[in-house]
Amino acid sequence: MAKAAVFLDRDDTLIENIPYLGDPSQVRLLPGAAEACQRLRQAGFPLLVVSNQSGVGRGLISKDQVRAVDQKMEILLGGSGTITRYYHCYAAPGDPYDERRKPSPAMLQEGARDFGLDLARCVLVGNRLSDIQAGIRAGCSSVLLDLHVPPQEKSGAVREASFVAKDWTSAADWILRKTKT
């Protein structure tokens, strides 16, 4: 039987969003993110970050800076190995090579191939309508983390999400009830 995993958006889901963040010293976890990730890892879920990082395609930050931010975030989440793998789309919106950019399910599908996942048993956690849509298009359940949802996207994201979590604790509780590894 193929296994389940949890796909995680990065900015305004795991860490505070600073546009085009390239400085690891500015990484700040959102409340409850570390504890929730540790609970999910202890339950046996691979944690796969799927993140649009258009600052690279726009020439504002480098891939090395994205990796440095990811490394700092992972340390704050509990140390090396907390995140199983990172999938990024570096293209700017409208770039002819942006087929991986959420709401495309491409990064989730790549993760499924890499880890032998059953996407119907997986969950995506994000704060944007494009996150929720990527999860749906991949065949996953989608949790809207209602901490920093852009106001213009909120009604659509709430309507389309499998579950709306008021915080990381309720998101992890729902995932652990719904999905068994």
Catalytic residues: 9, 11
- Rounded Cα–Cα distance for residues 136 and 113 (Å): 17
- Rounded Cα–Cα distance for residues 91 and 99 (Å): 9
| Pairing between β-strand 141-145 and β-strand 85-89 as defined by DSSP bridges | unpaired
Structure tokens at 7: 């796909």
According to DSSP, residue 24 is labeled G
Angle separating helix axes 129-138 and 151-160, nearest 10 degrees: 30
C-alpha dihedral, 45 to 164 to 105 to 61, nearest 10°? -90
